[in-house]
Amino acid sequence: MTAPITDFTRLASTLEALSSAAEKGDWEQMSTLQIQQEQLLDTIRQRPRGPQDRSQTAALAALIERALASIRAAQPHIDTLRQRTKSEMTGTNNHRKLSQSYR
């Protein structure tokens, strides 16, 4: 049995949704979508490839490449959010240490 087109289509859709969530800074949605992506990749990897898979390879590759391009485009935003989160965590830790020093 080969990985049906729908698995690849779902993967591409999941990658696009992941990109959208990254642009919005929705960490919870990104986490959920990352889990879905990993599950889809596992499903696809577990199935042997057949000649019928090659017939739509170009269309699938274009769909997945478009999704990956969206994620690459969101990378600067993701990096900004990551830095902001690190700064907030550092500030929170410093505040906690300061408050503990007064105890």
Confidence class for position 16, pLDDT limits 50, 70, 90? confident
Q: What is the pLDDT of residue 1?
A: 46
Question: Are 44 and 7 a contacting pair, CB within 8 Å?
Answer: yes
15, pLDDT greater than 80: yes
Give me the chain's average pLDDT, please. 78
**Mean pLDDT within 52-80:** 73
45, pLDDT greater than 60: yes
Cβ contacts of residue 8 below 8 Å, gap of 6+?
44, 60, 63, 64
Entry pTM: 0.52
Domain boundaries, the chain: 5-74
